Amino acid sequence: MKFLSEYRDPKLAQSLLKKIQQTATRRWTLMEVCGGQTHTIVRQGLDELLADAVEMIHGPGCPVCVTPLEQIDKALNLAARPDIIFTSFGDMLRVPGSDCDLLQVRARGGKVQIVYSPLDALTLAQKHPDKQVVFFAVGFETTAPANAMAVWRARQLGIRNFSILVSHVTVPPAMEAILGAPDNRVQAFLAAGHVCAVMGWTEYEPIAAKYRVPIIVTGFEPLDILEGMLMAVEQLEAGRHEVQNQYVRAVNRDGTRPAQDLVRQVFRLGDRAWRGIGTIPASGLVLREEFADFDAEVRFGLSDIKVQEPAECRAGDVLRGQLKPTQCAAFGTRCTPEHPLGAPMVSSEGACAAYYNYARFRTPEAAQ
């Protein structure tokens, strides 16, 4: 892949680290809202290198991780039906439900298939008119345009054996839920660059003003994150609270208007449950009435499936930034990538997986 080495230059990283340390007159608490950023921070040890200047806490930035258990159980229910081909991105297959995961359903004979696009699932529906094809539509605003396109295209082509199990969430309401909580410690956010590439950052401006927190739209490479941290610390030290864009090579203020228009045509805002956090009003995307025929929950009568999150899994505390993964009693013992209690341990963007892969041998002090 081109143009990555420039954003991993060790000399430039040292320069940014020094600037952050020189700028900070106290230890500031920042939250990144992207699991990809979490993995970069922990893998590169950026949180350790800046421990005296910045504490990084990890927010609900992994779409797989915030998908609630009851949505996983609905997916398992569908995948086990003989008349359904259940399709999903690969990162959902090992997320545990109440008693198994999608890989185990496939091992038992369920027709579970990995696809690389929801349009691939639509093609499957065309090839198998005798089967119902369901796509697991999980993600933030980043994946919503492709899922909207698949539904829009299915209606245009008159394909009746295709539907989606929707578990879409949006970032700004989650940020407000965190900032409005009585135990909130977040003083600035690093916002997810890929979300803003679609949606822009206008939705963040009233949040920054209301809660008086800097919000820095940030990329995913080490230098991106260090520059985002520096911009946040400079604002905090100056008493400013604005939205700034570090990720200038990919993001503009208004985002990608055609993608936004398509999403709004197919989806509307609705209440959505987040794993370990609970229901956040108007934080999710649900299909509009004119596209309700493509809603798998409606088509297959899944609305009655209600389950409780397992008490032993502290995923909710991790996703709200109240707990580092290593502070969970089950981390690395009863909860591992091979035998996970929750999604953050198996997702490629999960904070627990990041700490297990890169930080489980840190001293307790260094892990905080």
Q: Please tell me the pTM assigned to this model.
A: 0.93
Q: What is the CATH number of domain 1-310?
A: 3.40.50.11740
* Cα–Cα nearest to 175, from 36, 319, 343, 44: 319
Token couple for 278: 């609970």
Q: What is the pLDDT along the chain (368 residues), one digit of tens a residue?
A: 466 788 889 999 999 999 999 999 999 999 999 999 999 999 999 999 999 999 999 999 898 999 999 999 999 999 999 999 999 999 999 999 999 999 999 999 999 999 999 999 999 999 999 999 999 999 999 999 999 999 999 999 999 999 999 999 999 999 999 999 999 999 999 999 999 999 999 999 999 999 999 999 999 999 999 999 999 999 999 999 999 999 999 999 999 999 999 999 999 999 999 987 889 999 999 999 999 999 999 999 998 888 877 788 999 899 988 899 999 999 999 999 999 998 999 998 999 999 999 998 876 555 55
Q: Where are the domains of the chain?
A: 1-310, 315-358
Between the alpha carbon of residue 365 and those of residues 40, 47, 84, 334, the distances in Å are 20, 12, 50, 22
* Cα–Cα nearest to 221, from 41, 31, 34, 14: 41
Token couple for 320: 């709200």
Angle (CA) 172 169 69, round 5°: 130
DSSP symbol at 310: P
Beta bridge partners of 61: none
* 305 burial level (CB within 10 Å; 0-12, 13-18, 19+): middle
> What SS3 state is found at 55?
strand
Token couple for 185: 């410690």
Contact by Cβ (8 Å): 38, 58 = yes
